[in-house]
Chain A
């Protein structure tokens, strides 16, 4: 089962579901025939697609819209906020190549403020699967929900066998007393490698795959904070507005403090290139993540093994 097969199957079972795209067919190439008029390509018009999706949702449909994450969340932001957010319509946004996944496209295509923007809309839900398996596990619940939803599409192959998805629940992969990595989306794969390298170096390391940024599994995050380990927020997002900010908001709300290391993009766009080049250059491979955490803990001499081999993205526009 892949994304296209899942959406096809779901659409056959539920006539409310529609597939829309602003000419981004990478994940839904074979659906125009089978879905007929329930496949709507509006051309390169993110704003009109979102507006039309709102109109379709007003009539009882559940439109799943597809376009690049950056154009949806930036160019069409006001349409999402105003036409989907204000009336709280169940428009489901499948945002393609978010974060580091736009690899070689350059800063125009870097959706690294998308979590910040989408979570700021009242009632909007925000999901970021670790890989394809994780994504397929959460999509049925997302599409069945009455809420508008933003999904960071991630079709990378799983390197971890995920637990079943439960709405609003994070996946606790490991618990540790020295370090806990909180992450979401495609960096989970690198976090998993970093965790093992840090364990090999003698640390007790936890790892949480948040899965959903909104709703946030506050209990899981608070448990981590109360455990007293160094909390690492790891994200392919600007440091402002994403997970680091979410954690800061939660800590203030609960009058807590914690030792936190943010690994994010601080006031900068990332260097474009092949995914392996991006992660290496920006310091987000498993090895780099382990090293940066080691440095924070005063363990700057440790190299954490050899350079991490990164599986490249399959190009699909």
Chain B
């Protein structure tokens, strides 16, 4: 759909790429539909939609049939506010009925702005940033103790890297040579309200992670081939944790909100949702009038 993915490569067939692109488009539709009647964190969800689609549809050994298997792969969404991308992916892959998304922000269900374990596939609740790297570390330590070799992935935001506990957990993971833990950064270059480099600059980012003992790869987080190439190389080291920095675009897929500081949390009118869905398919910017910035 994005027209820039190279189709000739050793990592992924063009059929697979088309399949993932089609799936990602449907997940983005869910995200847009959730961005009304109370709204959601639209921009931050769109940036990691391709990443979540790739991981659940192609990479991770986790599916609706093995959610209680202790040897399944684990994915922890530490930047919990992008839950529309996660639930959209779950709805498409059969973890939850699509109709359940209609319960968004309703008291008859638990589909709200951050993930929770009432939704099959959610390994741990999140919302408070900087928590799940350490929780994932615990799971990775236990998997190793039991001689299991599944992957434990934790997705953080880039703004989330302001939290010291992300670095603390990595320091401990490095000390314990936890090679089955992978931190994936959705590097969409925005904090809640402002560009990361204008508030708490993170660059050079990869060397920071390397200095904390990880092996780092940095890729385009919207390129399925690049995702496949990076993730298929895990673990990057026999005795170090891995980090994959995914450069992404906040609001990806909707040019009218891409890279906009005021499109983090969005609560669109139903007319705007209709035109955004058209934009999603046509890739041409829609004119939006509603004020949607919510200060963290």
Interface residues of A (CB under 8 A from B): 37-38, 40, 42-43, 45, 47-61, 63, 78-79, 82-83, 86-87
> B131 and A51: CB pair below 8 A?
yes
- With a 10 A CB-CB cut-off, give which of A38, A48, A82 has the most chain B CB atoms: A48
Contact of B135 among A60, A61, A83 (CB under 8 A): A83
B136 with A55: CB separation less than 8 A: yes
Report if B55 contacts A (CB, 8 A): no
B141 pairs with A45, CB closer than 8 A: no
**Interface CB pairs A-B, < 8 A, 25:** A40-B141, A42-B172, A43-B171, A45-B168, A45-B172, A47-B165, A47-B168, A48-B134, A48-B137, A48-B172, A51-B131, A51-B137, A51-B138, A51-B169, A53-B138, A55-B142, A58-B135, A58-B139, A59-B143, A63-B138, A78-B128, A79-B131, A82-B128, A87-B117, A87-B125
Q: Is B145 an interface residue (CB 8 A)?
A: yes
* Chain B 41-85: CB-based contact to A (< 8 A → 1; otherwise 0): 000000000000000000000000000001000000000000000
Nearest Cβ distance between residue A179 and chain B, in whole angstroms?
A: 46
B199 within 8 A of A: no
In chain B between 148 and 203, which residues have their CB closer than 8 angstroms to a CB of chain A?
165, 168-169, 171-172, 175-176
Tell which of A37, A45, A57, A87 touches B145, judged by Cβ atoms closer than 8 Å: A37
Q: How large is the interface on B (under 10, 10 to 19, 20 to 34, 35 or more residues)?
A: 20 to 34
Given A82-B131, A86-B125, also A59-B139 (CB < 8 A):
yes
Instruction: Report chain A residues within 8 Å CB of B70.
Output: 59-60
Per a CB cutoff under 8 Å, which of B134, B140, B143, B175 touches A79? B134
Main SS at interface, chain B: helix
Task: Report the Cα distance A42→B144, complex, angstroms.
Answer: 16
Chain A's closest residue to B76 (CB) is: A55
Q: Does B241 contact A (CB under 8 A)?
A: no
Q: Which 4 A-B pairs have the closest CB atoms?
A: A55-B138, A51-B134, A52-B138, A59-B142
- Closest chain-B Cβ to A23's Cβ sits at a distance in Å of 11
Most A CB contacts (10 A, CB to CB) among B132, B135, B141, B169 go to: B135
- Contact pattern, B 103-128, Cβ under 8 Å of A = 1, otherwise 0: 00000000000000100000111001
Measured between C-beta atoms, what is the minimum distance from A301 to chain B in Å? 57
- Chain A residues with CB under 8 Å of B171's CB are 43, 45
- Residues of chain A within 8 A (CB-CB) of B39 are none
Closest beta carbon of chain B to A103's beta carbon, Å: 29
